Every structure is written in C-alpha cells, then in structure tokens.
Amino acid sequence: MYRENVLRIIPGRKPLNYKSILRPVGRVEIDAELCKGCNYCIEFCPNDILEPSGKINTQGYQYPHVPPEKADDCVACGMCERICPELAIRVFDHRYVHVGASK
C-alpha cells in the first residue's frame, strides 16, 4: 500500500535544477522521392511528430511530413532515421532549449 502511494507521487516530481536542463530540438528532413510509404517512422517516433502528408511522390507512395506545430517537439533521437529502410530521412540537431521553457 505504501509503495503504491509513492509511485503516484514520483511521476510528478521535478529535479531541483529543472529550469537549467537543456534538451535538443531536432529538424527532420524527408526525401519524398526515396520514401516507399512503409510508415515505420510514424510508428516508431517517440514524440509522434511525423504524420502522413496526404501527398504522393512520383512512385505513387504517400510520404510522411512534420506539421509546423509539432516541429519543436522533435528531440533529435534519430529513431526515424535509423528505422527507415530507404534512408529517406535525416535528422539534424540544430539547437538546444531549456526543458522548463514554454513553446
């Protein structure tokens, strides 16, 4: 019973230096012509920033994109880049922001 109460409290805790912690903000570039529409990148993105674009490349595949409102949510983990079988995605880590900063 005591352990259950502790587990409920811990997720809301923040470190004392919370406002000084920096996190990367990545930029995802997708080569639409290389994409084969497997959607692995969409499925494996930990922050769910990739979405189907609704557009079709010259090979007839629907490729993903990053909506502008989710662009700053990318943490440059590179999962989409590593999982893409066609090497159609590149992730660039171009800046750092404070974790406590609002968008």
Q: What is the pLDDT of residue 46?
A: 92
Task: Spell out the per-residue pLDDT of the chain, length 103, in tens.
Answer: 444 444 455 666 776 777 778 888 899 999 999 999 999 999 999 999 999 999 999 999 999 999 999 988 999 999 999 999 999 999 998 788 887 654 5
Q: Are 25 and 101 in contact (CB under 8 A)?
A: no
**Any idea what DSSP says for residue 86?**
T
Q: What's the rounded Cα separation, in Å, for the pair 12 and 15?
A: 10
> How many domains are there within the chain?
1
pTM: 0.73
| CATH classification of the domain holding 88 | 3.30.70.20
Return the closest-CA partner of residue 42 out of 93, 80, 87.
80
Query: Does residue 103 belong to any structural domain of this protein?
Result: no
CA–centroid distance for 70 within its chain: 8
According to DSSP, the residues that pair with 98 across neighbouring strands are: 22
| Full residue range of the structural domain in which residue 12 is found | 2-98
The confidence score (pLDDT) of residue 7 equals: 46
Any idea what the Cα angle at residue 55 is, between residues 75 and 65, rounded to 5°? 5
